[in-house]
Structure 1
């Protein structure tokens, strides 16, 4: 029996999902296998299947990883850490609020994965100076980074994937700060919850950790180049916010200046890039194109709309499906899988696709129940000696809160 293109595409989708869940093979390899499968089966021409390696959002994140590395290696991140300690004084609560706020804001502009990786040894060091266990600090930090990243198009990979998918369907992409209408609400609410809900945080057990032993030492800090890295970051952000230079050109200019100014070396630039994120982007984006071309996304969309007809119910279904998948697989992969489905669902139901796509973006980034749900969650797992159950205990109420906020504020700002 010859399978139809729709079924073949769905089988590739299912196979990728299973491999992402089980990690039988490494996640980046699964992502690379997707365009290979699409090309071998004739779903897409090879040029189309592998064209996303030059996608502007792939290159944008690559460049911002390099800019972020310059911020760390010139000592700017450490300088911020010392300032936080001074402002916190003797209050552990004030310290927690400040560190979450700063990391959340920086995650919006430097990417939440890179920011968490950059600040991890600094936060552990600051925790020891405050006489606090990293167990009570690192999980709120990871959650704040995820929430902060939702506020801009470059803060977290799912936001960029949403814009790329909208452009694939010739729809208007979200503006640089449009995500912040909802993401800002979730960020502030998350900080309040994590500050007041201390009983939900992992217990402050006896914990000895030497930041030097975390195997994330990045070598000599170039304090003499700090002003250069700060100026480069400011230039990139002003360019992106004002639009006088395109997002990609601004990011690439920042990456080039970071290297030629001596803030980092070429080798350090290569090592700064989170290649798993890059491979996931480039490998999974063509699946969205294939799902549109073959009609498989429409097939799934019609299945969802046949059970839910009211726009709010459809939104809730898309959001909860995305949350479920993201808590067990890469949020980058989940957003790439769900974005085309969200658009087809909207079209089938006669809805504005933007609120559904924003729901996919928020659901992909605001996941707190497992260590594999987001890169920030995974980064703090080992250094804080967390268990799977620690994430569940801390994150379940925050997960419910995010869902409720999404149900209220996304339709408010982006009507169905």
Structure 2
């Protein structure tokens, strides 16, 4: 789902300057690295360093569309002889590519048939939650976080944004004049943005960096983290971050238990205006529940019979997560909304509207990440970083990994951040002789925690476009949430990774 971001004239000038700078700086750095001798690098690693530097500059400056930069990197790897064609392009056939496709189609169907709106209205219409503004903020946080577990944070924020504005508009007519409506509006809109990003980390399909990180962990390290295994790790982190966020908002915006009698009825009316469940909604719900069941089922089997049981191994070999996503997505093309008209829940005209850019970015990023290891470049970069930072312990490296991913995600996309940081931090950990799993997981999770600027994530840009949120307020709130996020991820990994065998 494409959402137009509104920017000021000054921001437009800066964006043009940033893009233009990248067009000149990228090739300049590429050429300089290519022609400067690096005696401690092999020929392929040397050429790959130049390519990776070019792609990273293009990603940060967005001199070219981010997916195009990823494709350019893969293309240059073939042209400059870093690796042969088949090996370079094999990343675009990675099973996670098809997991992306299937989950994106399900998410698109949810938006197309407005199932996402019905779920959000259902949560917001609970009387106990909608009886006070504090409850409304909590309900909005819960709704955005839950929906974002299954569809993109951008789509979640785009859906919740008008709902939040409508709620504040309704409140302005029914609350006392002395109430600071501006603070209420800002807190609710920021909650939409932040909860949408936080909820995305809870499942592998919640946000692209999760699958990018998991794909690199499996490709580079040979470790497969299951859908259920990821949820056991990430859901506690999402809940903890969301809980601290609610407490932070209560203190920052002085949210009181303002009585909002009748708000639940207003939201319930909006839900009723959607009408009865359409056939498309029902079919989409069937496909969605099928996917969730197939994804979670092996984890439940593992809890009962263990991962060494024959049934568990047979199930995982026949219905891995990518196949489960494709099975569920296929149902959308099979289940009819009108058999007489031969109309189905999803047709190809709608299916092609999914986010192909993220899919191409993943393929290109995975190519560069895997080549960094096969050429020895990642190990060398890891040694350089270790010599600069002096870090040697597992959890110090993990902290650096999380903070680096968060910092980079403030100025570039979360998908690009994960693609850049995950392979590098795996190399750092291996150079230090410690487990690369926690640093890789830290970078994956940290990539989704850019909260400070409108450009950090699409949800931030969406709510900022309202004109109600001062940039200084977003920066102040975002800095605190960045620090909280880094601490929660680090502490969560420190406690859960040993327990889950991820060290």
Q: For the superposition of Structure 1 and Structure 2, which TM-score range results when normalised by the shorter chain?
A: 0.7 to 0.9
* Structure 1 segments unaligned to the other structure (5+ residues): 204-219
1:102 paired with 2:157, answer no
Q: How does 1:148-167 map to 2 (within 5 A)?
A: 148-167=199-218
Contact 1:202 1:394 in 2 (8 A): no
Which of 214, 227, 231 lines up with 2:286 in the alignment?
231
1:365 paired with 2:465, answer no
Shift of 1:147: 1.3
Which of 336, 357, 372 lines up with 1:291 in the alignment?
372
Q: What is the CA–CA distance in structure 2 between the aligned matches of 1:242 and 1:183, rounded to whole Å?
A: 17
1:3-27 C-alpha deviation (Å, 9 max, x unpaired): 5322221222221121112122222
Helix, strand or coil for the counterpart of 1:110?
coil
1:252 paired with 2:334, answer no
Contact 2:124 2:130 in 1 (8 A): yes
Which of 403, 409, 415 lines up with 2:486 in the alignment?
403
Shift of 1:190: 2.9
Q: How does 1:163-242 map to 2 (within 5 A)?
A: 163-198=214-249, 200=252, 223-242=278-297
Q: Which residue of 2 aligns with 1:206?
A: none
Deviates more, 1:308-317 or 1:110-119: 110-119
Q: What is the CA–CA distance in structure 2 between the aligned matches of 1:65 and 1:121, rounded to whole Å?
A: 23
TM-score, normalised via structure 1 length: 0.87
Q: What is the CA–CA distance in structure 1 between the aligned matches of 2:224 and 2:153, rounded to whole Å?
A: 21
1:266 paired with 2:348, answer yes
Helix, strand or coil for the counterpart of 1:13?
helix
Q: Which residue of 2 aligns with 1:376?
A: 459
Question: Aligned in 2, Cα 1:385/1:270: closer, same or farther, shift over 3 Å?
Answer: farther
Q: What is the CA–CA distance in structure 1 between the aligned matches of 2:369 and 2:235, rounded to whole Å?
A: 28
Shift of 1:292: 0.7
Which of 351, 361, 369 lines up with 1:280 in the alignment?
361
Helix, strand or coil for the counterpart of 1:169?
helix
Which of 303, 323, 334 lines up with 2:384 in the alignment?
303
Shift of 1:43: 0.8
Q: What is the CA–CA distance in structure 2 between the aligned matches of 1:165 and 1:328, rounded to whole Å?
A: 22
1:279-322 C-alpha deviation (Å, 9 max, x unpaired): 21122110011111211110111122232122222222222222
Contact 2:399 2:439 in 1 (8 A): no
1:116 paired with 2:190, answer no
Q: What is the CA–CA distance in structure 2 between the aligned matches of 1:274 and 1:127, rounded to whole Å?
A: 31
1:124-166 C-alpha deviation (Å, 9 max, x unpaired): 4444444477643232122112211112222221221122112
* Structure 2 segments unaligned to the other structure (5+ residues): 1-34, 38-42, 173-180, 256-274, 299-314, 336-343
Deviates more, 1:36-45 or 1:258-267: 258-267
Q: What is the CA–CA distance in structure 2 between the aligned matches of 1:21 and 1:233, rounded to whole Å?
A: 35
Deviates more, 1:344-353 or 1:124-133: 124-133
Which of 113, 124, 131 lines up with 1:74 in the alignment?
113
Q: What is the CA–CA distance in structure 2 between the aligned matches of 1:257 and 1:40, rounded to whole Å?
A: 41
1:173-220 C-alpha deviation (Å, 9 max, x unpaired): 2221333445333322332333233365699xxxxxxxxxxxxxxxx9
Q: What is the CA–CA distance in structure 1 between the aligned matches of 2:375 and 2:276, rounded to whole Å?
A: 52
Question: Aligned in 2, Cα 1:44/1:98: closer, same or farther, shift over 3 Å?
Answer: same
Higher-Rg member (1/2): 2
Question: Aligned in 2, Cα 1:94/1:285: closer, same or farther, shift over 3 Å?
Answer: same
- What is the aligned residue count? 400
Question: Aligned in 2, Cα 1:85/1:162: closer, same or farther, shift over 3 Å?
Answer: closer
Deviates more, 1:345-354 or 1:234-243: 345-354
Q: What is the CA–CA distance in structure 1 between the aligned matches of 2:448 and 2:485, rounded to whole Å?
A: 11
Question: Aligned in 2, Cα 1:310/1:52: closer, same or farther, shift over 3 Å?
Answer: closer
Helix, strand or coil for the counterpart of 1:197?
helix
Q: What is the CA–CA distance in structure 1 between the aligned matches of 2:106 and 2:474, rounded to whole Å?
A: 31
Contact 1:186 1:405 in 2 (8 A): yes
Contact 2:382 2:428 in 1 (8 A): yes
Q: How does 1:331-350 map to 2 (within 5 A)?
A: 331-350=414-433
Q: Which residue of 2 aligns with 1:65?
A: 104
Q: What is the CA–CA distance in structure 2 between the aligned matches of 1:377 and 1:295, rounded to whole Å?
A: 38
Contact 1:77 1:119 in 2 (8 A): no
Q: Which residue of 2 aligns with 1:16?
A: 55
Question: Aligned in 2, Cα 1:376/1:53: closer, same or farther, shift over 3 Å?
Answer: farther
Shift of 1:78: 2.4
Q: What is the CA–CA distance in structure 1 between the aligned matches of 2:451 and 2:410, rounded to whole Å?
A: 7
Q: Which residue of 1 aligns with 2:4?
A: none
TM-score, normalised via structure 2 length: 0.73
Q: How does 1:389-400 map to 2 (within 5 A)?
A: 389-400=472-483
1:356 paired with 2:430, answer no
Shift of 1:342: 2.0
C-alpha root-mean-square deviation of aligned residues, in Å?
2.7
